[in-house]
Structure 1
């Protein structure tokens, strides 16, 4: 069997989808900035298209925004500063899942150290500041459009870099000769545009430093945190107060960010790491899409005309929804992990033993639906959008997008499991008929 079989199935309708996403999503996050800024903020359903049209930069202005030297210096300092911290900060080393050649890659897990370092730096800057004014956060807020374009271009260049590197054979351990790189099962189609988009190489690395894992939880996730903080900073220094809605969005999303970074070892078994190559889709998604689309609620609420006071009752309801979602998401994932490790054998959970030797869990959380953890994750997304009230559907974009993403993941996972387990998967679907939402779907 070939180490790198030719890609047969193409995601996102192949080349048309790849081109559409490559052009469409950067345009979308740019649009978000055009409708949530100091000059214009969308209210209600109707958009003032004339006002928005007047804000659209000309080609010359767009070029100026995209190649602003100060923003490039700031972004490169941010990205490669985190790379340096990734190398020097302590962390534990864990092995990933077995690859197609039987080997396992070693990953450095140091999310706790890196998060602590960033928080310590922010705390020190606040302590040394006058009236809590941080020029770094003010710069970030004032240059959002430029930084959106810079992070998009950087993700484009990074995708080109890893695509080209995927054609360079690896040196063997003894330095004599070369060995074949392991490619993604989705990114070996032979079409350069599609493979560049979806990711040709499974685990692009520079030495032992894994580019994909670093981008998954470092530059984009932590930049998201800083963008949200810049919104708080801006509201405080322009109005003298901070609304409870903006504080709530910051708190809930910060909790999610640090929970993700601190539990990064869970990424080693996620589809992004085990199956998907690293191309423009993940590069852009991690570095540009995540921070600039997930921060939409905070950026909207930071504007003076969108100040919203929720009150204790609404805050309590939203926080309850968040932690119900968090409980479902984490307890279900832990239950599956413990089951796989044999920690729940004494409970005699109902399961189906497959021809591969693995078992399909049909009990507990996983007797309710095939992806009950997705439901919990979606509830968390709702808790981020509800603090914006019901002034506009724009701020509910995330739950619509994320719900679509979860459905796509469910379909991908189902296809993979159907091929892997065959008749055992058919039996599993009979026992657990619901995909995500129990008794509904």
Structure 2
């Protein structure tokens, strides 16, 4: 019975799940995004009802309202997309920074450019200077054209993933994103889950480009554009918008400061580069992650000073805890356990594992600090931070809170995936670790 359940679960995850996600998720994400941009989902439905295209079906009108009926995309959106991608490739290549080898479960070892924080400040400052100071383009350009830009990103990501699915590679990389090492999979699975863990294109590590320098880098620019749009409409930036944006900027500053650490996460080390990762970062991140700022453009709130202070302090605390938890694990492994965690030598389990070439390796599993509380404690402050920077939206609509819900579901799924992967990798050592740290995320609950 258990084996049949595992087979059904694997079949859903590998086949039916991808089909459902590829057909449903773009429509849903664009609906959430359009609702936030217009201030409410009711405004989107009003646009549909007032559509002058009387001969069209309600479904066509709805697709038009959420930006899903644009053909090949607008020239303005393509220009923005191409300029942004080109500028990020130039910044990634030319801004000074070191190089650091990534970690791989199999196949080629990637080498990443470590100039994330400098690139983040250069990109955001450059956007403000070029738009507001020098007037080369309106600062509201991303907000005003976001649905069109997302449609272009949809087209570009699909083309990219198709190319990754069929291109020839010198050595297939199995990874663990599909929970399977079988390379004889259909084109659908190659397209959705990907074939390579660390594809390199023209000297660029592709997942660093799509995950970090596209998805995570366009997020702050959209927020800047949202603030500019609120100023254009009302003549001021509300303290609710300023609070939400400040906390998200703090989180993104932490992310790019820690970018080399992100290269050692499940996304980068084990998930293949396919629709799941590349489309998610190129389309889903800019459509959903900045949703609180998008919503606040047309729904400004004036928050009491004490509320703003409480949100800022608690939000920064969560961002700091998230960073410290990741730092603890990296510091212990970097120093081979010769460091202090909370003023004491760390408690560790020195696990051994065998790679695909039957070569034995060792790895430190940290049982001290935040990692002694739960196996994925660092996800708790990340979820709480996203909730805190959404609270300035108040509670008239659930639209801006979708990101919090989605992030919670994503990280719960990731804890399960990571546990299965670690059990398969470390075997008895992982069982010993789970006995020492019995909770996956929330102590005494989960």
TM-score > 0.5, shorter chain as reference:
yes
1:3-43 deviations in whole A, cap 9, x for unaligned?
Answer: xxxxx9958621110011112221112101332344x624x
**Which of 318, 323, 328 is matched with 2:321 structurally?**
328
Match of 2:376 in 1: 371
The secondary structure found in structure 1 opposite 2:442 is coil
| Greater Cα offset, 318-327 or 19-28 | 318-327
**Which of 263, 275, 285 is matched with 1:268 structurally?**
263
- The answer on 1:354 being equivalent to 2:345 is no
- The answer on 1:196 being equivalent to 2:191 is yes
- Is 2:70–2:151's contact at 8 Å kept on the other side of the alignment? no
| Greater Cα offset, 286-295 or 353-362 | 353-362
Match of 2:56 in 1: none
- The answer on 1:149 being equivalent to 2:151 is yes
Distance 1:80-1:420 versus aligned 2 partners, 3 A rule = same
- The answer on 1:70 being equivalent to 2:76 is yes
Match of 2:102 in 1: 96
Deviation at 1:99, TM superposition (A): 4.8
- Is 1:352–1:424's contact at 8 Å kept on the other side of the alignment? yes
**Which of 316, 330, 342 is matched with 2:336 structurally?**
342
Match of 2:308 in 1: 315
1:288-320 deviations in whole A, cap 9, x for unaligned?
Answer: 1111101111111101xx221112111122112
- Is 1:198–1:280's contact at 8 Å kept on the other side of the alignment? yes
The secondary structure found in structure 2 opposite 1:309 is coil
The secondary structure found in structure 2 opposite 1:108 is strand
Unmatched tracts of structure 1, length 5 or more: 1-7, 171-179
Match of 2:86 in 1: 80
Mapped to 2, the partners of 1:388 and 1:65 lie a distance apart of 34
Q: TM-score if structure 2 supplies the norm length?
A: 0.85
- Is 1:328–1:372's contact at 8 Å kept on the other side of the alignment? no
Mapped to 2, the partners of 1:12 and 1:321 lie a distance apart of 39
Distance 1:191-1:253 versus aligned 2 partners, 3 A rule = same
1:339-374 deviations in whole A, cap 9, x for unaligned?
Answer: 223254563433333344433222221111111111
Unmatched tracts of structure 2, length 5 or more: 1-7, 52-58, 354-361
Q: TM-score if structure 1 supplies the norm length?
A: 0.86
* Residues 222-241 of structure 1 mapped to structure 2, 5 A cutoff: 222-241=217-236
**Which of 168, 173, 180 is matched with 1:182 structurally?**
173
The RMSD of aligned alpha carbons is 2.6
